[in-house]
Structure 1
Amino acid sequence: MDSSLEISKLKEKLLRTMYNLQVKSGDTLQKTSPLLNCHRGLGMVTAQQLNQLSHEATQICQDLENIGNLVRFRQNELLFKIANPYGDNSNGPSGIHCSPDGTIYIVSDSWPRVHVLKQSGQVFKSVHCVQNQGGIKEPFLPEDITLTRSGMVAVTDMVGGAIRIFNPHSNFSGEWISIGKIDCPKGIGVDPSGKLLVADYTAGEVHIFAIDHAFRLLSTQTITGLRGPRYVCSTCDEKIVVSEECGDVKVYGRNLQLMYSLSVKHCRPFGNPAGICVDNEGNIMVVDEQKRNVMLYPKIGYPICIVSEGLKKPTTLACLTNGQVFVVDTGDNCIKVFKYRVNPYYGSAKN
């Protein structure tokens, strides 16, 4: 049978099923609502029947949500590749960040330079990573990158044990300002309030730094008890997501208390979770370096593997609001761009 004809029949069957559920539930509600509101008792409905109906209805709602997710998301839809801007002599990008306007920022832990790329992958700007030590300028190697709420570049310097923020408005045509002192800063992110989130690898902690417009440190909070935290990011409702090397991906609430781990919640262990990101819908995406895939964890529903093939050694990732995800594949010395979401509700219908 023609595949397009088969797909059309399946679409019709799915739409008919959802329509029948809608009609039947609406008809039942219309008939029973006046009786439940105006008459005593439940007629001949028993507690057992009510519990069974509640359980089955919950399962149907979950199944419908999962069907909706499977319709919205895509798997292994590779759009194009971006060559490693640092060349073949680099280990490849160690950190990547996508700004809302589609600009891509990348760093490499073996190259003292931040590259700024267009969405197509073309480099249009570079920033040297140089610190001023007593009047002597010395290069440093950035580990990961993000943007502050004011749009300034912030990176982690693992060797120097500090966060460094690039101030393009300084009197010296742009300079790096150091914030904090950390044992082994690796991943960096920003929460919705503008606080910097930094994964401290050897200490097993995540530090939350509040700074003012003059880059002065206002306060510090800490999440402890982690094992080799690598990357960190935040959801739009201020939850903090952290990946642990050869461990798990954990989600913390506003009170900085552990809410759950993704492997336990979904009964799906990781191999070696590395890069993480969260899109505008609140979907968490995780690169598994060992399993060589990218998993998406929706706010409601089961996990979905959005990239299951074509990756050699994926290490980190970032996403755009148009439904694209940029996956750094150091094994292939490039960045691979996938389409994981079709027609995002927050984007254009043309996507």
Structure 2
Amino acid sequence: MAVACLWGHKGTAEGHSFLLITGLPECQIHAGGRSHCGDMVSPYSVAQGCSPSVASPGPPPAPAVSNNRDCSRAGNRAQGLAPVPNSDLLAFPTSWPVEGLHLTLDPPGDPAPSWQPRLLRQVPVPAGAGGRPRGLHCSPDGLLFLTAGAAPCLHVLDLEGRSVCHLPCRVPGIGDFVPEDVAVTAAGLVVVSDLVHGAVHTLQHTARDPQGRWVTVGTFLAPQGLAVDALGRFLVTNYVPGAVHSFTLGPNLEALAPASVLGLDGPRWVGLGPNGGFAVSEEFGDVQLFGNAYQPLGSLGRLTGHTFGSPTGVCTDAEGSLIVADEQRREVTLFPRTGAPVCLVSKGLGRPLGVACVPQSRLVVADAGDSYIKVYQYSELT
């Protein structure tokens, strides 16, 4: 798995700046030493003060960076690695803070912890969606943004499931598009992925267009999942080349500071991860964890012993625990900062895809099995 910094060429479309991602130099990540500590820590964290002289099974080794500048490019797939400033070693984060949900590891032979949260309501997919729900995002002001079906439209609901509005999806020069996933910044900027046209669009509001119009801010081979990380960077999965790209947007909606993580196996959804990093679900594989400097932290499957079927949506709750939906196993699992995974929902799900955490310890799941948005209360766990 490699980390890359992307470079591109600026252009204009309908008078707006955008960035076309191209290739760049590549570097390799090599295995480093492992650390050992006798203290009990979370399965996917490393305690401070561990001695690097004693090897132990557990978290993957810390990767070192080699400045190999040889590279190649195939099509639109960007490859490479940017050296980390002032360091030859990408270090793992320290243990997660001991707060919030606390679970102890079960003795051998005991079943995995399981608790069924209370189902508050089931909201049908809005009329006119023309299909099943996919992507889901909860904005800071408590609005649910939903992508569903084959209609060129983004749906906005409140937490009671009432329709607030729908945003037609049409880009000048391209025409109608069907949004695949959606993310919203703290400032209210809406960004969607467009798998058919291989693009990422954002909704721009101006004095001439107070209702907003969609502007293309990036092009990729197969963009799917979207998220906004703790630093305000947009994250987009690129399924075909197996990558996650990140970028920020300037005042004129120009893409800035592009970077990539390569070597993923069918990345689908992306969400916030531990310590300001992010987590990526791989189709029929695992969920990969990365730090805020894009350093690989290992996979949830290997680090917790959990077996995934086909992981989909990923989100983080108020306590900093990861929540992952599994389309094949028809369940949603909580991965707390300490302790074993907890099966949150295993009944009544047909094909869970998008997930989002909302205020007051509520969890929203987009179920493509029966085309309902399901709202759960799981505050009893916290």
Q: Please, what TM-score do these two structures have when normalized by structure 2?
A: 0.68
CA contact (8 A) 1:236 1:280 kept: no
CA contact (8 A) 2:115 2:342 kept: no
> Relative to structure 1, is the Cα distance of residues 92 and 86 closer, same or farther in structure 2, using a 3 angstrom cutoff?
farther
Deviations along 1:257-283, one digit per CA (max 9) or x if unpaired, are: 210100111111100101111122111
Give ranges in structure 1 of 5+ residues lacking alignment. Answer: 1-60, 345-351
| Aligned counterparts of 2:179 and 2:102: Cα–Cα separation in 1 | 41
Whether 1:206 and 2:244 are equivalent positions in the alignment is yes
Identity of aligned residues (%): 36
Deviations along 1:33-52, one digit per CA (max 9) or x if unpaired, are: xxxxxxxxxxxxxxxxxxxx
CA contact (8 A) 1:81 1:334 kept: yes
Give the AA of the match of 2:116: Q
Task: State the superposition RMSD in angstroms.
Answer: 2.3
Whether 1:81 and 2:118 are equivalent positions in the alignment is no
Higher relative contact order (CA 8 A, sep 6+): 2
Deviations along 1:277-299, one digit per CA (max 9) or x if unpaired, are: 11221111111111100000011
Q: Which residue of 2 aligns with 1:335?
A: 373
> Relative to structure 1, is the Cα distance of residues 90 and 227 closer, same or farther in structure 2, using a 3 angstrom cutoff?
same
| Aligned counterparts of 1:144 and 1:184: Cα–Cα separation in 2 | 12
Whether 1:281 and 2:319 are equivalent positions in the alignment is yes
Structure 1 runs (4+) deviating above 2 angstroms are 341-344
Q: Which residue of 2 aligns with 1:65?
A: 102
Deviations along 1:317-342, one digit per CA (max 9) or x if unpaired, are: 11113111111111111111111223
Whether 1:169 and 2:206 are equivalent positions in the alignment is yes
Aligned-partner SS, 2:379: coil
| Aligned counterparts of 2:187 and 2:323: Cα–Cα separation in 1 | 25
Q: Which residue of 1 aligns with 2:297?
A: 259
Whether 1:224 and 2:265 are equivalent positions in the alignment is no
CA contact (8 A) 1:74 1:341 kept: no
Q: Looking at CA atoms only, which structure, 1 or 2, has the larger radius of gyration?
A: 1
| Aligned counterparts of 2:197 and 2:102: Cα–Cα separation in 1 | 47
Q: Which residue of 1 aligns with 2:253?
A: 215
Give the AA of the match of 2:305: C
Give the AA of the match of 2:315: C
Give the AA of the match of 2:206: H
| Aligned counterparts of 2:310 and 2:338: Cα–Cα separation in 1 | 24
Q: How many residues align?
A: 276
Moved more, 156-165 or 207-216: 207-216
Match of 1:183 among 221, 226, 243: 221
| Aligned counterparts of 1:325 and 1:156: Cα–Cα separation in 2 | 23
Q: Which residue of 1 aligns with 2:231?
A: 193
Displacement after TM superposition at 1:115 (Å): 1.0
Give ranges in structure 2 of 5+ residues lacking alignment. Answer: 1-97, 106-113
Q: Please, what TM-score do these two structures have when normalized by structure 1?
A: 0.74
Q: Which residue of 2 aligns with 1:125?
A: 165
| Aligned counterparts of 1:245 and 1:119: Cα–Cα separation in 2 | 29
